[in-house]
Amino acid sequence: MGTPYFSKVKKVAVIGGGAAGFFAALSAAQNHPQCHVVIFEKSDKVLAKVKVSGGGRCNVTNATHQSSQLVKSYPRGGKALKKAFAQFQTQDTIDWFQSRGVPLKTEADGRMFPTSDSSQSIIDCLMGQAQKAGIDIRMRTPVRSIEQLPAGFSLNDETFDAVIVATGGSPKASGFDWLVSLGHTVSEPVPSLFTFNMPGESVKSLMGLVVQDAVVRIQGTKLSHQGPVLITHWGMSGPAVLKLSAWGARVLQSRGYAFTIQINWIGIANEDEVHDTIDAWLPEFRKKKMANACPFDLPKNFWLYLMTKAGISVDTLWLELGKKQRNRLLNTLLNDTYDVQGKTTFKEEFVTCGGIEVHEVDFNTMQSRILPGLYFAGEVLDVDGITGGFNFQAAWSTGFVAGQLR
């Protein structure tokens, strides 16, 4: 057997200085120590998304250790990612950073952060490793042109044996035109993680308030998600809303971001169970004002808001609650509706779905099935995860595999 071509690789270009780009460059430097690795970054900052993610703490990964479970957190591309996760998954990420002086910790919801609670720890680690590996980082250097040569590629009139594309998502399809010109197909990008705008809803007056265990559904679809909901000054956010926006990204875009959501605020689906909960609780509190005694785990201001919405006076005692009022209250608790008109995305942190179609890439190697020597990593692919560290894990895994240049 002859030596594989890429064992002789001398020069590799990585386009994009984000999480996936850095990890791909580090993997290439480790697997091909003889190789000159160059990162091209068009802006004056590398790892910008790492810096701002998780409120500046960097949600590095998620404590989901089984690949079969992990792939369920990707609305698009999960099945393809299984092959990359077989080579580098969450525990490998934890071990990689730990062994380089950055221990991670797990929060109650499974999200993992550096114990320093600072994204700078991750940036310093990646930058330090890149420096140690002799990686050539060129900032303010957009790739003006890419051309296939008989052997390798020409980038900005410089020759490379292999190219790893890690440019991230693009808000417009035109951002991928240069890859289309190389023969690839792009799934149209649309926002994937976003919050819901509710200009006509009075609930916004309760901004900052969190309801811990709500079930949010999009009417007219099968889409629903359970988890915390955060009331904001423009509408609603929080894990349940963000996850719903990811799974419903294309459906909601097709509706022009105008739709109705239905919310069960207490996470109990069965109406009889809710009646039973109230009945068991009532003897002790029947002489109390409803405003001061809530049988469910809801913030007081929110309970008052729901009472008012159900047409119940805040001075009503529990023993004065009639059957019709009780049914109205139950309906508000279990089937509350809100009109959504528009979305809000946070450009540095939030993601798009869309990108290079996954069937055109071999996820065992991350190499293009169309152009040998061209590799992909991260959000440039039509792969996206829900909130919780999953998008970074996809970046680490695909970057690690791409950098092997197999």
pLDDT score, position 19: 98
Distance of alpha carbon 236 from alpha carbon 40, whole angstroms: 38
Given a contact cutoff of 8 angstroms between Cβ atoms, the answer to whether 280 and 192 are in contact is no
Distance of alpha carbon 73 from alpha carbon 67, whole angstroms: 10
Distance (Å) of CA 162 to CA 15, 20, 58, 155? 11, 16, 30, 10
Helix (H, G, I), strand (E, B) or coil at 191: strand
| Domain limits, CATH 3.50.50.60, in the chain | 9-191+350-402
Instruction: Pick the closest to residue 165 from 405, 366, 377 (CA basis).
Output: 377
Query: Residue 62: left if φ>0, alpha if ψ -120 to 50, beta else—which one?
Result: beta
pLDDT score, position 173: 87
The verdict on domain 9-191+350-402 having CATH code 3.50.50.60 is yes
Model confidence over 263-288: pLDDT tens digits?
A: 999 999 889 999 999 999 999 999 99
Distance of alpha carbon 393 from alpha carbon 58, whole angstroms: 12
Distance of alpha carbon 18 from alpha carbon 21, whole angstroms: 5
pLDDT score, position 3: 40
Residue 80 host element (H or E):
helix 78-85
Instruction: Pick the closest to residue 385 from 222, 245, 186, 226 (CA basis).
Output: 245
Q: Which residues of 106-132 are buried (b: 16+ CB within 10 A; e: fewer)?
A: eeeeebbbbebeebbbbbebbbebbee
pLDDT score, position 346: 65
- State the CB neighbour count (10 A cutoff) for residue 138: 14
pLDDT score, position 347: 56
DSSP label at residue 76: B
Residue 311: phi and psi, rounded to 5, are: 75, 30
- Residues of the chain predicted below pLDDT 70: 1-7, 346-350
- Helix locations, 176-322, DSSP H: 177-180, 239-247, 249-254, 271-285, 300-309
